[in-house]
Structure 1
């Protein structure tokens, strides 16, 4: 099928509703058929002429202000390139066939810029919604009719503002996710051990980019694993996340254990905007001694799936989130043994928490899923857990997940 050859000039003239094109000097460049019909002018009477020479203010109405407001709006658009929705205007038009007779009109205009490749304004699109009939049809006092029409216009403006906010949020979400992806480490082998990592952003709006994971090789046959969750969302959360993840990764290489690493991170977090109340769990895995040493700053407990199918939650070293205490205090640390073939699972709260249920229900759901998929490898298990535990329509919170075969 061939691509249709579109006559854009014909499309413009056939557009429903009143639309005119003006130069940045406010001279008419073109107008569509509905515009010409509703203002009672021919195209020849408009083209090349200054808009307010064609449509001057009604001299019989000392309170008339439509011309001044329209001119100010168009000049702002010509200068800034930003679209502008105007409030309801009463703009009387002189009857072209009966000079001296002015016809009352109520218009709701929108002015938008057409930019060239350099970003300069080349044309102004002047779209007018004619609502005179709506005002007249309501009857009653003229002031009441005008106020009702004004409410109608304001509702349109609110819709446009909401749409602009939606687009701005979508753009910020894209930037935040790109920043998140750049900051999180790519999945790489951890020594000779198998690990899987996942990050799933929240659906909708901006509740994304506060979660992170980290895996660090240590001396000997040891690694440090962490998952954290910054309170907040969007670019601020992504920036705070990046700083905290890097700081904890560095601290893990010099600290004696996870508690000391979190203590250092807590002191650092006091100077990072948006880092208050961050939760994080840190686990040191030692294959020589077959032990897990862990500490948690307000984070959901890691799960340890044993080869016999039982599940233990590592919850014996839990402390408040970062920055929650007014004074610095040592953090708790616990140790537990593991059997070769066990699986360690770290995650953020988006995987288990639901607003309408207790966290214990989410932990039990995770345990059941782990038992069900205990014979799969880390990669397949990661996908299975996300499929089992996240809502089909997506979670309202982002989710980080690390699975390590011990």
Structure 2
């Protein structure tokens, strides 16, 4: 079926509720039928005229503020390019059939921008909900029913304002998330061979606007047939965590190139982290892989243990050199280091806690689930294995924590 041609001008005319379009200098460009009917104006009386020439303030009411508040709202829209929801306003309109007679109206307006491709505001959409009947008293301005109706209208307007604030917050959070994700993407190394070995890497951001975290991975080519691999997790969310992550990843990458082993590299990182706000309690695990001796040397600062899948299908966790996270001790203490042998064809898996931890279960259950998945998909290539682990271990609806994953065939 072919898509019908939509007459948007006719749609605008028929929109329910009062809607008008104004230029940035607040001159009427158009108005729909409901606006004309409820405002008591013809199209000829509106189009091309300044809004407050058409609807001046009531001179008989020294406390009238509708014109001032409406102008301020529209000018905010023009200046910021953002929607503006007004509080309930009373706006008296002169009866054109009886000059000097003013009709009392209660309006709940929303003003929104229409942007040009360059981002400048070209029109202001002025939408008004006429709530006069809701507020007007049945038995006079002083009875209880009138006060109840005024309260009801005020509550309605406050709910509208809260909804608008929440929408602005959502948009701001979405922008922060996009910036943080872009920052993380720029700071994390792209998948590439390290020496003549290739690693499969994955970074899976958390679901939700504010849940961009500070997870990272790093791979460094070392002299000889060796590489250094790190995975870390900064506490916190958003841009701050992403910035701290970038600083720590760069510092550890540099330390790995000159340190004698992973423990010394983490000691240097710990000293550096003391001078970085937000770096405290960061967890990280560092491994040095040596193909000449078929050994893995490792050290962990409070991080989940790497998993080693052996060619015979066994899975062991490298958990013999675990120490507190960065900044957890008031004084510098040498960090532990351990080593293990590996056979050709083994697989090393390093990850952040988002892969295995769930709030409603013990971490051992998550480690067991990882081991089971490794055994089940262990014969697959590194890239296929990485995708299989994420599919097996992360919730289908998305995780509330970021996940970084590095897989290396040994």
TM-score range, shorter chain: over 0.9
Output one character per residue of 1:231-280: Cα deviation in whole Å (capped at 9) or x when no partner.
12222222221221111111101000101101111111222333221110
Say which SS state the counterpart of residue 232 (structure 1) adopts: strand
Query: Matches of residues 7-406 of structure 1 in structure 2 within 5 Å?
Result: 7-136=7-136, 140-406=144-410
Output one character per residue of 1:183-230: Cα deviation in whole Å (capped at 9) or x when no partner.
211112233334211111111223124111111111112111111111
Say which SS state the counterpart of residue 368 (structure 2) adopts: helix
Say which SS state the counterpart of residue 210 (structure 1) adopts: strand
Structure 1: distance between partners of 2:113 and 2:105: 25
Q: Structure 1 residues 310 and 81 mapped into 2: Cα distance closer, same or farther (>3 Å)?
A: closer
Structure 2: distance between partners of 1:305 and 1:82: 54
CA drift at 1:27: 2.7
Say which SS state the counterpart of residue 289 (structure 2) adopts: strand
Say which SS state the counterpart of residue 231 (structure 1) adopts: strand
Structure 1: distance between partners of 2:272 and 2:224: 28
Structure 2: distance between partners of 1:303 and 1:23: 64
Say which SS state the counterpart of residue 74 (structure 1) adopts: helix
CA drift at 1:110: 1.4
**Are the aligned partners of 2:138 and 2:146 in contact in 1 as well (CA < 8 Å)?**
no
Structure 2: distance between partners of 1:81 and 1:338: 60
Structure 1: distance between partners of 2:331 and 2:345: 41
Structure 2: distance between partners of 1:23 and 1:215: 56
CA drift at 1:378: 1.7
Q: Structure 1 residues 389 and 120 mapped into 2: Cα distance closer, same or farther (>3 Å)?
A: closer
**Are the aligned partners of 1:114 and 1:124 in contact in 2 as well (CA < 8 Å)?**
yes
Scaled by the length of structure 1, the TM-score of the pair is 0.93
Q: Structure 1 residues 12 and 230 mapped into 2: Cα distance closer, same or farther (>3 Å)?
A: same
Q: Structure 1 residues 61 and 181 mapped into 2: Cα distance closer, same or farther (>3 Å)?
A: same
**Are the aligned partners of 2:231 and 2:350 in contact in 1 as well (CA < 8 Å)?**
yes
Say which SS state the counterpart of residue 82 (structure 1) adopts: coil
CA drift at 1:74: 2.4
Structure 2: distance between partners of 1:349 and 1:191: 28
Say which SS state the counterpart of residue 44 (structure 2) adopts: helix
Structure 1: distance between partners of 2:54 and 2:228: 76
Output one character per residue of 1:85-115: Cα deviation in whole Å (capped at 9) or x when no partner.
1100111222232334332221111123334
Q: Structure 1 stretch 56-65 or stretch 264-273: which is displaced more?
A: 56-65
Structure 2: distance between partners of 1:200 and 1:403: 14
Q: Structure 1 stretch 74-83 or stretch 306-315: which is displaced more?
A: 74-83
CA drift at 1:130: 1.2
Q: Structure 1 stretch 129-138 or stretch 252-261: which is displaced more?
A: 129-138
CA drift at 1:51: 2.1
Structure 2: distance between partners of 1:64 and 1:317: 74
Q: Structure 1 residues 268 and 135 mapped into 2: Cα distance closer, same or farther (>3 Å)?
A: same
Structure 1: distance between partners of 2:236 and 2:272: 18
Q: Structure 1 residues 114 and 309 mapped into 2: Cα distance closer, same or farther (>3 Å)?
A: closer
**Are the aligned partners of 1:138 and 1:145 in contact in 2 as well (CA < 8 Å)?**
no
Output one character per residue of 1:144-194: Cα deviation in whole Å (capped at 9) or x when no partner.
322221111111111112112212222222222222222211112233334
Structure 1: distance between partners of 2:398 and 2:43: 54
Instruction: Name stretches of at least 5 consecutive residues in structure 2 with no aligned partner.
Output: none
Q: Structure 1 residues 384 and 27 mapped into 2: Cα distance closer, same or farther (>3 Å)?
A: closer
Structure 2: distance between partners of 1:189 and 1:173: 30
Q: Structure 1 stretch 343-352 or stretch 209-218: which is displaced more?
A: 209-218
